[in-house]
Amino acid sequence: MLSWQGFPGATSYLIEYKTPIVSSWISRTTSTTSLNISALSCNTGYTYSIQASCPQGASAQATSTFTTSACTGTCGSLPTRYFNADIGDIGFAGSSCLSNGIYTITGSGTGITGSSDQFQYAFTNLSGDEYMIAQILSQDAADPADQAGLMFRDSISNTSRFIFIGTTSSGGAELAWRSVAGAVATTMTVNGISAPYWVELSKEGSVYKAYISQSGAAGSWTEVGAPTDLGFSNSAYLGMAVSSYNNSLLSQATFGSFTVEGGDLPVTLINFSGINVNNLYAQLNWTTATEVNSSYFDLERSGDGMHFVTIDSLEAAGNSVSPRNYADKDENPMNGHDFYRLKIVNRDGTFAYSNIISLIFGNGTVLQLFPNPAKDYFMVAAGTNPVSVITVLDATGKVIRQLLNQNGSSLITIDTRSLSAGLYFIRITTTAGTDIQKWIKD
């Protein structure tokens, strides 16, 4: 429930809200001074604004934030650098999970058609030419027209340019695309096809192509429609999408063998973790879901979270569509905070980095904020005292965002892609007190 002090003479109030990762807002209007909103994702921060409508015109917007309660259940986390979000004004909160190489995606919404879209999206962001392949293993037929498939998207907005190839429960394979933001999408179907079925999307510059296959074997692919120039060529969002096509329902689909090749992501990393073993050495472990032309992993360490050096290298699998486990040790950790990451190197020399993890050896009492300056995110590593709340304030002292560290994590990442460049103050509350540090967004 959102509630606020009434504005004298106001006839109604406009409420808008969204998660930081999504660029389009959901709107509600009420004549009262409170509003219940539903279909919210668990353990997620939201930004909202309230604006009064009066006979003289609209007031200025008042903005604030809130964070929903922690998630329950056993939903496995997505690989590093992958995110999930409900796009559009969905009826029920969706979810995206990964377990043993199988993605289970649940989504509501009125579909991936028309002039705006409503669905659950599990995605990453890459630059350059790439293609992705997946086998749609199952659909639950919550609605005969529910949709499950692969998507390239220009932005995380409900009206952005996109291309989608997937299956419906009863309508065959479906290709949909929008080349002008906000325009009505174009669709075409191939009858007689249902899950399990293979789908593929490729990107070459701003030209996109869609394919389907019953077996996924070489030589079995059929192009659907003609190559389409969607007008966006550099950075693109790509991943798996599910919509129930009926906003009063949730639809669930499963995907296997999800593979991305090209761009800057040679490996789909499920997790990267580490433990301090008796204050003697760091045990590092990671698992990949898929690998495409991977060459090797560099294990890198840093004392400040910004300047890393390579301490070991391990050969990668090369090509794999099943989970692979890796392990390594740092026999000589530094006293205090030790930050670790993987440099994942492809056979053609391109590379990507994993998430950063932090371990404390010896006397690591001081918390750290890094990188600084930065663009897309910053991280807070707790010292001896656990971090409870992280608050982002702008240069005037206005609260922009607040995150409750409900899980007691010792390394917390704050997504800052929606913030404007400039100076911010980061207020970090621990069990021992409050620390305020300056942070600059490039």
Q: How would DSSP label each residue in 233-262?
A: -SEEEEEEEEE-SSTT--EEEEEEEEEEEE
The answer to whether residue 205 scores a pLDDT higher than 60 is yes
In a domain, 73, yes or no: no
What is the maximum span of the chain, computed from C-alpha positions, in angstroms? Answer: 71
Work out the number of other CB atoms within 10 angstroms of the CB of residue 325: 9
Instruction: Say yes or no: 308 and 357 in one domain.
Output: yes
The answer to whether residue 201 scores a pLDDT higher than 90 is yes
**Count: domains in the chain:** 4
Q: Provide the residue type at 369 as one letter.
A: L
Instruction: Say yes or no: 325 and 371 in one domain.
Output: no
Instruction: Say yes or no: 201 and 291 in one domain.
Output: no
Contact predicate 385/297, CB 8 Å: no
With pLDDT > 70 as the criterion, what percentage of the chain qualifies?
98
In a domain, 161, yes or no: yes
Instruction: Say yes or no: 41 and 22 in one domain.
Output: yes
Q: In the prediction, which pLDDT does 182 show?
A: 95
Domain that holds residue 279: 266-363
In a domain, 54, yes or no: yes
Instruction: Say yes or no: 215 and 275 in one domain.
Output: no
Q: What is the CATH number of the domain that holds 218?
A: 2.60.120.200
CA distance 414 to 380: 8
Q: What is the mean pLDDT of residues 224-243?
A: 93
* Beta-bridge partner residues of 49: 16, 63
Which of 244, 262, 280 is a domain's end point?
262
Instruction: Say yes or no: 236 and 282 in one domain.
Output: no
In a domain, 394, yes or no: yes
In a domain, 77, yes or no: no
Instruction: Say yes or no: 272 and 171 in one domain.
Output: no
Q: What is the mean pLDDT of residues 48-73?
A: 90
Instruction: Say yes or no: 357 and 389 in one domain.
Output: no
Q: In the prediction, which pLDDT does 34 show?
A: 95
Which of 262, 284, 319 is a domain's end point?
262
Q: What is the CATH number of the domain that holds 59?
A: 2.60.40.10
* Element holding 289 (H helix, E strand): strand 281-292
HEC readout, 15-65:
EEEECCCCCCCEEEEECCCEECCCCCCCCCEEEEEEEEEECCEECCCEEEE
- The string of pLDDT tens digits covering residues 76-102 is 888 877 899 999 999 999 999 998 889
Contact predicate 253/131, CB 8 Å: no
Q: Strand order in 235-243's β-sheet?
A: 83-87, 119-127, 235-243, 147-153, 162-168, 173-178, 186-190
pTM of this prediction?
A: 0.62
CA distance 436 to 229: 48
- The string of pLDDT tens digits covering residues 319-345 is 887 788 999 999 999 888 888 999 988
Instruction: Say yes or no: 232 and 329 in one domain.
Output: no
Instruction: Say yes or no: 331 and 388 in one domain.
Output: no
Instruction: Say yes or no: 320 and 306 in one domain.
Output: yes
The answer to whether residue 264 scores a pLDDT higher than 70 is no
* Beta-bridge partner residues of 19: none
> Per-residue confidence at 346, pLDDT binned at 50, 70, 90?
confident
In a domain, 48, yes or no: yes
Three-class DSSP category at 102: strand
In a domain, 55, yes or no: yes
Which of 240, 262, 284 is a domain's end point?
262
Q: In the prediction, which pLDDT does 266 show?
A: 57
**Strand pairing class (368-370; 377-381):** antiparallel
In a domain, 227, yes or no: yes
- The string of pLDDT tens digits covering residues 163-178 is 999 999 998 999 999 9
The answer to whether residue 433 scores a pLDDT higher than 70 is yes
Three-class DSSP category at 300: strand
